[in-house]
A and B are shown apart, each in its own frame.
Chain A
Amino acid sequence: MAKYIAKRSALAVATLIAIILLLFLLLELMPGSPFNIDKVPFDTRAMIMEHYGLDRPVMERFAKYLANMLKGDFGISYSLSKKTPITALLAIRLPVSIRLGVQAVLLGTIFGLALGMAAAIWHGKAMDTIATVVSVLGVSLPSYVFALTLSYFAGFRFQLAPMLYQASSPIYSSVLPTISLSMFTIATVARFTRTELLEILGSDYMLFAESKGISGAALFFRHALRNALIPIITVLAPLIVALMTGSLVVERIFSIPGIGSLLVSAIQANDYNVIIALSFIYSAMYIFIMLVLDILYGIIDPRIRITKEGE
């Protein structure tokens, strides 16, 4: 098992390094620089590029960046927040995105499970139709549609919740973005829960369990739901990463100081270090979750481990 974990971890680290290198090379191809003001004289621009070492060859910068990164130094922002260490920006913005993501995942999972269970229990009835409609809408409509709709009706027309994020009341002012972001999760979880439960509820072992006298909540939760949860967790993992690393559009609409909106701004401003640091964090979180899943699968189902080790 230890060998399996070590192998997967080494692969994860190599993937991350490859991603950073790729980013360096891609940024090198991007036109312009972080110092793009056309009014600034060429001489001054060259001096500034030299000052920050941006005139050095790309591989030299890559090696230096990696060395600094191991010390926890992601460099500074060149244009978005001039001269601010990226770690300071992350300290401000990452917790906001993570909190919002956690809220959205919790809400989405709770409602998704509830909806999926209801649809399975009342299969073929009105509840099932409602769950199907919600699932289709949640999966097919992008989150910004929900964001704009909620903002207009719940925020503006009926004043049920704030339209903009306020650092002074982070939970209350994030009600609308949380709901907007959770819609996809609700839909996905509901769909999977319904499908899995329907399959399990109609299976022979459920009939067997019922015939043994197990009934009510014990039958449903212990025998049906528990078995249905395994594939749902697989679906949830990438959703958790996507939600915790910030939403590009929802953050923009509700003025949330998260890392999703920061990445968009960084790309527009050619702010190299911010782009690399945020892409790294996104990749690292994704790879980490996938690594944990891989290991968990290996523990739950040894066949997976054996198959992969045999490859």
Chain B
Amino acid sequence: MAQTKRALSAALAVLLIFSLAACGGGNTQTSGGGSTSDAPKILNIHIDVEAASLRPQIATDGTSFEVIASFLEGLYSIDGAGTPYPCIAESYEMADDGLEYIFKLRDAQWSNGDPVTAHDFVFAWRLAVDPETASEYAYIIDTAGVKNAAEIANGDMAVDSLGISAVDDKTLKIELAFPVPYFLPLMSFPTFYPVNQKFYEECGENFATAPEYLLANGPFKVTSFQQMATSIDLVKNETYYNADQVLIDGLHYQVIKDSQQAMLSYQNGDLHIATLSGEQSENFASDPEYTPIMAGYLWFISPNTEVEGLGNVNLRRAMALSFDKSAIVNNILKDGSIVADFAVPSQFATGPDGKDYRATSATYLSTNKDLAKEYFETAKEELGMDTFSYAMLVEDTESALNVAQFLKAQIEENLPGLTIAIESMPKATRLNRMEGKDYELGLTRWGPDYADPMTYLDLWITGAQNNFGNWTNARYDEIIASAKSGDLAVDPEARWEALKEAEAIIMDEAGIFPIYQKGNAELVKSTVKGIEWHSVGLNRVFKNVTIAD
């Protein structure tokens, strides 16, 4: 037996050495948040989900948009303050009625040396609305007012009838069905970016699936990418028309889904920018590299006005005034979110006066529990009812459920006789139920598509797809119709004031109960400057970034 043990000990030692050797090897490779003066300046960026597509007309998610905007540019873009500035366009002329735009294009190049022409825009926009492309964002071309976009997308007209044409290589003509005051900022949306037709056709099905099937006309070009890749690399595009202004050598996107791992990678120096989860946000709030960012998302309760009781304006007002919004943002969310006493969020739309929409607008439905009780008593009298019971649909995320529990407790405490049952479910189910009007109260949200209050206000016109609660007001509908395509559409100042009036109407009638505007937070290394954050379309823009040694 002693011999057996000796033999076994030797065997074990050999096995252990063999196993450790199998694990070892390789060289440490860090992407390096801290760079030296000689090393290339690569910005290391955390993303928490893979890019779904780098095809500008197919992509729908924020990550894809952000990466696409790093290597492609459209006619116009928006700066950090939300002001549009020309990119591939050099200048433009707009017809007096706002129904036609003529863009002159600058001398820009694709990364294969081809010139960027007006034909590239015509091809790309037609691609977006072509039913064969099956683009979910085809509707954004119609949002921009481009003539026949909706009809083509629905298969009722030929693709070449779209209101866009190339006058010559450097002149692009766009015809609109109705004037769109936010047309220029919309051009920063990736669906409107150009595509080189010759290259697209050469690539066929492979288009935008690997670096060799991607062309750039923007500040960077893709050097490493495959579908659902967990990292994407881009280097400075030397053929970019403004290459002199690009002061870093490239971008490295790293997918890290686990928020704890992202923080460790940031602290390790592997990342320059990391997105904080809601829970982490509180812990890092005093860190000098903590960067709060206001997102455009508005969270609100949508009451179904066709349900007994909820059609009564005073009951809706009572409910909208009865919960403590500051407790929600300060004690529950703690992620930089702010109280929403409005239907149109702050910091995403700039008016003709150059000021943020909220800076010159009133606030509405601020928490007022005493007033809520008064409205509640009136409602009870008007309805001849003493008790009310409603179910509230809530998606099954932790933060939504926490907020819903608090809302329930507050409303029930402040409006005795009114009870709320929470129905938790996946977001898709909640949306299905709300779209089908199969609900009483719904905790929901909306994010902006473009930098104009209309992206919110046209949600609640009579019969609109996302007017889940069927709230209706004739004056409101009239204002929105005129501001979208009537007289107000060509009078920016009057339109701006009219939009404020519309907001006052829906808030006065408590057509929705606003709760909070979502805040996000990121950690950004102090050596990094020049990142632009937007609450619309492109979340982050990196072309003006500098990295100090």
Known: A48-B136, A110-B19, A255-B254. Is A151-B7 also a contact (CB below 8 A)?
A: no
A4: CB under 8 A from chain B? no
Please tell me if the beta carbons of B261 and A151 are within 8 angstroms of each other in the complex: yes
Please tell me if the beta carbons of B428 and A36 are within 8 angstroms of each other in the complex: yes
Counting contact residues on chain B (CB < 8 A from A), the size range is 35 or more
**A 180-210 binary contact with B (CB < 8 Å = 1; else 0):** 0000000000000000000000000000001
Known: A89-B227, A113-B15, A164-B254. Is A37-B428 also a contact (CB below 8 A)?
A: no
B22: CB under 8 A from chain A? yes
Q: Which of the residues A44, A172, A179, A252 comes within 8 Å of B138, measured between beta carbons? A: A44
Measured between alpha carbons, how far is A215 from B449 in the docked complex, in Å? 79
Please tell me if the beta carbons of A175 and B23 are within 8 angstroms of each other in the complex: yes
The segment out of A66-74, A216-224, A226-234, A239-247 that lies at the interface is A216-224
- Among A93, A111, A220, the one with the most B-chain Cβ atoms within 10 Å of its Cβ is A220
Known: A113-B15, A164-B265. Is A169-B134 also a contact (CB below 8 A)?
A: no
Please tell me if the beta carbons of A216 and B257 are within 8 angstroms of each other in the complex: no
Please tell me if the beta carbons of A89 and B228 are within 8 angstroms of each other in the complex: yes
- Minimum CB–CB distance from A152 to chain B (whole Å) comes to 7
Please tell me if the beta carbons of B134 and A47 are within 8 angstroms of each other in the complex: yes
B352: CB under 8 A from chain A? no
**A 33-56 binary contact with B (CB < 8 Å = 1; else 0):** 101111111111101100110000
B330: CB under 8 A from chain A? no
The segment out of B25-33, B165-173, B341-349, B376-384 that lies at the interface is B25-33
Measured between alpha carbons, how far is A265 from B258 in the docked complex, in Å? 13
Please tell me if the beta carbons of A51 and B134 are within 8 angstroms of each other in the complex: yes
Measured between alpha carbons, how far is A175 from B231 in the docked complex, in Å? 19
Counting contact residues on chain A (CB < 8 A from B), the size range is 35 or more
Known: A107-B19, A155-B264. Is A83-B256 also a contact (CB below 8 A)?
A: no
Known: A31-B428, A82-B59, A93-B228. Is A255-B261 also a contact (CB below 8 A)?
A: yes
B175: CB under 8 A from chain A? no
Please tell me if the beta carbons of B131 and A51 are within 8 angstroms of each other in the complex: yes
> In chain B between 12 and 60, which residues have their CB closer than 8 angstroms to a CB of chain A?
12, 15-16, 18-19, 22-30, 49-50, 52-53, 55, 58-60
Please tell me if the beta carbons of B5 and A121 are within 8 angstroms of each other in the complex: yes
Q: In the A-B complex, list the 7 residue pairs whose CB atoms are closest, starting with the nearest.
A: A172-B26, A32-B428, A217-B7, A31-B429, A82-B53, A216-B3, A51-B134
Residues of A bordering B, CB below 8 Å: 30-33, 35-45, 47-48, 51-52, 79-84, 88-89, 92-93, 103, 106-107, 110-111, 113-114, 117-118, 121-122, 148, 151-152, 155-156, 159, 162-169, 171-173, 175, 178-179, 210, 215-217, 219-221, 252-257, 261-262, 265, 270
What are 17 A-to-B residue pairs whose CB atoms are below 8 Å?
A32-B428, A41-B139, A44-B139, A45-B136, A81-B53, A82-B59, A107-B19, A111-B15, A113-B15, A117-B8, A152-B264, A164-B265, A171-B26, A172-B26, A217-B4, A217-B7, A252-B258
